[in-house]
Each structure stands twice: as structure tokens, then as C-alpha cells.
Amino acid sequence: MPSPREPVRPEPWSEGAAHPYPKRVWYAAYGSNMHFDRLTYYLVGGRPPGATRTYPGCRDGRAPERVLPIHLRGELYFAMESRTWRGGMGFYDPLGSGELPARAYLLTVGQFSDIAAQEMYRMPGTDLELGGALANGSEQLGLGRYETLVCPGVLDGYPVLTFTAPGRRARAQLNRPSAAYLRYFAAGLAEAHGWSVARIADYLSSRPGAAGSWSSAEVTALCRS
């Protein structure tokens, strides 16, 4: 994987415009999938260390064509209960304040669809219909936790896509994330953005759902354990 570099910010996606249907998209991972080894389980299948779930993998298990650190407008928060990690799950509120560090992987539409299907607890194998998200900036495909597609921008002519929960952070049932989950978050931020342990600890301990239940010192100790 390439060494960390200065993060880029996607250009705004022109909602409602007649964009050509893409063959490639950037998958913006803002949670544990920022860590490349973690993402690999979605691509080729298997069970990550510390997880309780085995992933079937993608139809096309090739590595991403390109990988970039990016910043998205919006906010990370932890809510609900993860079946994989136990504890709060990371979600993206694109209308929240501030910026969210993420990692962009250039994938085929099929690869992105299969990763999204695994996050949605569906079987991979069918390309998603992305037209609504590309035209409107977001589209709710279902009521599930990661069944809302968001298109926060465009990079090098390819749309940036990710998925999150329906609704806003203000309406979410916040929940403390588990130690195993935060370790992947921390490793992903270090790998993708080159952040120091202190910066990672300050960031994660201040996110809604973690704030008040994880101190900066506790996250620091977790990163160093």
C-alpha cells in the first residue's frame, strides 16, 4: 500500500445532472475499512481477527486500482449495536459539522456493490442501481444500518460513494464502540493518514457515541496495546 500523503477533498457532485453511468467508483471507507487488511476480507472473504462474522467476499477479489486518503464534509458518530464487533457502529452524517477523515479505494461498480451488500447483510452478486444516489446525492435502498448510499463528491472524474444509516446523527441511538472496533479505526487512520497516536486518540474519543465513554488516555492505551 502507498505511504500516507496529503488528503484530497472531493469536488462537489452535480446533483441532478446527466452524468454518464460509471464503470469505476471511489469507495470512501470512513470506519474500520480504512485499514487495508480489514478491507481485504470484504474483497476475498474470511473472518477478520476480533470479529464474529465470516465474509463471503466479492465476485472480483482484485485489489483496488488506486488508494487515496481523503476528507469528507460531515461527521463520524457511533450508534446502534454491531453484530460483528459488539458495541456501537461507525456512521457518517454528511450534513454534520466539520470534516471526516476517510480512505478512498478505486473499485469497479461490481466490487463496490458486493462490499455494500456485505455491509447490508445481503449476499453479494448483483450490481447496485446507483442512479438515484448519483442524481440526488443520496438514496435510501432500505431501512437497514448501511442501506443508505451517499455520493459526497467526485475525484478524477469518478463518483465517490459510501453508505451509512438513514436519518441524521441527532436522531440516532448513540452507543459506545468496542475496543476491537476502535483498534481497526485507529490502525486505519494511522495507515491512511499517518496520524500520530495522540491525534487518533483525541479524534476518536471526541466522536458522538465514544465521547464520555472512551477517554483520550484510554484510546491511547488501546492503540499502544
List the grid coordinates of 85. Answer: 464487533
Give the Cα separation of 120 and 81 in Å (integer): 14
Bridge partners, residue 218, by sequence? none
The backbone region for 65, taken as left when phi is positive above 0, alpha when psi lies in -120 to 50, beta otherwise, is: alpha
CA nearest to 171, candidates 85, 30, 98, 77: 77
Higher pLDDT, 81 or 62: 62
Reported confidence tier of residue 3, pLDDT bands at 50, 70, 90 = very low
Is pLDDT of 5 > 70?
no
- For the chain, what is the radius of gyration of the CA atoms? 16
pLDDT tens digits for 52-74?
Answer: 789 999 999 999 999 999 999 99
List, in order of start, the domains of the chain with CATH numbers: 24-175 (3.10.490)
